Amino acid sequence: MAARSRSRGFVLWDALIAFAIVAIAVTVIVVTLPQTASRNADRLLRHEATEFAFSKVEEYRVTFPQLQAQGTEPSGWSWTIAERTLPEAGSIAPIEFVEIEVTAWHASRPDLSSTLTAIVARRSQG
């Protein structure tokens, strides 16, 4: 008479080990997900601050000298502008070059500011 072969299948230990592996993987995902979301939110806010600073540079170009050196928008965005006249670069009499530095931040996270530096050509005031 032929010997009976044992049926192969999962035993309790196999199921417990698989369950432990899945639990560890889920724990790792649950712990890292909020950190990743927070970093992405910070990156987005810093990007928005850079875009806002760029818009202030363009506003400075168009409205000089009417743009204030600092201010706050109703949307919560704030800025400061520092300017420095560069030494004359050639003999372009009615034009001067100014280096401006715009720093922008949002009231919700002032620690995530963005600074943008640009050189602007404008009519000389002298």
Asked, for residue 18, whether it belongs to a domain, the answer is yes
How confident is residue 77, by pLDDT bands cut at 50, 70 and 90?
very high
The 10 Å CB-count burial string (b at 16+, else e) for 54-93 is: eebbeebeeeeeebeeeeeeeeebbbbbeeeeeeeeeeee
Asked, for residue 2, whether it belongs to a domain, the answer is no
Asked, for residue 3, whether it belongs to a domain, the answer is no
Asked, for residue 44, whether it belongs to a domain, the answer is yes
Asked, for residue 71, whether it belongs to a domain, the answer is yes
Asked, for residue 5, whether it belongs to a domain, the answer is no
> What domain range includes position 115?
12-123
Entry pTM: 0.66
Asked, for residue 96, whether it belongs to a domain, the answer is yes
Structure confidence at residue 125 (pLDDT):
65
Asked, for residue 111, whether it belongs to a domain, the answer is yes
pLDDT in tens, 6-30: 666 668 888 889 999 999 999 988 8
Residue 69 sits in a domain whose CATH number is 3.30.1300
CA distance 87 to 38: 44
| CA atoms 30, 36, 39, 44: torsion sign | negative
Q: DSSP letters of 106-123?
A: ETTEEEEEEEEEEEEEEE
* Residue 90 scores a pLDDT above 60: no
- The total number of structural domains in the chain stands at 1
Structure confidence at residue 49 (pLDDT):
92
